[in-house]
Amino acid sequence: MHVLMSNGITEGSEARKLHQHCCETDKVYYAHDKLDDFISTINSHLQPLFMQIRKGASEDDGRAHYAVVNLAETEVTKMASDYTETELELFRKTMDLIILSENGFASSTDILNLADQLKTKKMKKKEAEQVLKVFVEDKWLSEKNGEYTLHTRCIIEMEQYILSNYQDVARKCNICHSLTIQSQVCESCGIGMHLPCVRKYFRGQTEPRCPKCNEFWSCDTPGTKERVSRMGSQTHHRAPLLALDDAKRLGKEPGLAIARHQTEMAAFLPLGYDHQKLTEKLSSSDRTESRPSPYKYSILSIGNVGTIACINQAAQWCLKLNTQTQH
């Protein structure tokens, strides 16, 4: 219990080592496949204390993790002794961005823009950056390439709070029945599945079908070569993973990135870029490469971008827009 509580969260491999150590210390036979039974026994003694060891899985690789949950506390009250009221407000707003996002992530830019909008006390961006770093170190958030999502610890400890307070958007995985933040979603019936669960469920299937409605599963199965080359490591939340015709840069202009989906296209441009110039270039490119036409364009003029995250977000616009739009 001391190790679990001091670590915040413990991987399954480390939990098995703890189980073995306890058995050897008390001179009791150790069975490597009895970890869950061992934890159930501990939980029966923790019940009067309103505490419980809960098992969860990483949304990245599906590996098991264990965390101690205080059942007498709700939402972020457990964090109140470790963080100021202003820091907790930043965490709540960050969680809002992540859960309500299309892909289960929030960019550092979007989070830092909240710093001077806090009701408790405005926070400088440098201060907010430091707070985010602490949230990552304490395993409440995970960060990768400037994108933040909820850490496995946070999902395990706050699952009931998230399901209760985000009822319109929060869902459980149809396979493991745990909360999903990053997921693939069936276009027909709307069920969601963790990517590791998708990988296991559809393994070896030539024509994957939804486990609920039996319709064809149109999302790319994680782990395929096509998946890695086209979409990188990004995942999507409450929206199908996209099968893109193409995702590339045009010309030498910094930050220009486009994405296609069937007969639709989206582009992210540097500020001040000539929209008409892009339209002409895209049309010319389509003819040269014998692409289907006509394409529908969504042109977003937002700062100097061009990362895979930008391309993925542009691809999301492709799915949403049915008519030509300029912003």
Average pLDDT over residues 40-58: 92
Sketch out the chain's domains with CATH numbers: 2-70 (3.90.1150.220), 77-163 (1.10.10.10), 173-231 (3.30.40.10), 257-326 (no CATH)
d(CA 154, CA 114): 21
Average pLDDT over residues 34-47: 94
What is the phi-psi region of residue 116: left when phi exceeds 0, alpha when psi lies from -120 to 50, beta otherwise?
alpha
pLDDT of residue 238: 33
**pLDDT higher for 192 or 269?**
192
Q: What are the two backbone dihedrals, phi and then psi, of residue 150, each rounded to the nearest 5 degrees?
A: -75, 135
Report pTM: 0.64
pLDDT of residue 307: 43
For residues 153, 157, 161, 167, the Cα torsion angle rounded to the nearest 10 degrees is 50
**Tens of pLDDT, residues 133-143:** 999 999 999 99
Could you tell me which residues come within 8 angstroms of residue 178 by beta carbon, excluding any fewer than 6 positions away?
A: 56, 57, 155, 159, 172, 194
d(CA 322, CA 325): 9
pLDDT of residue 281: 56
pLDDT grade, residue 325 (50/70/90)?
Answer: very low
pLDDT of residue 149: 95
Average pLDDT over residues 231-257: 37
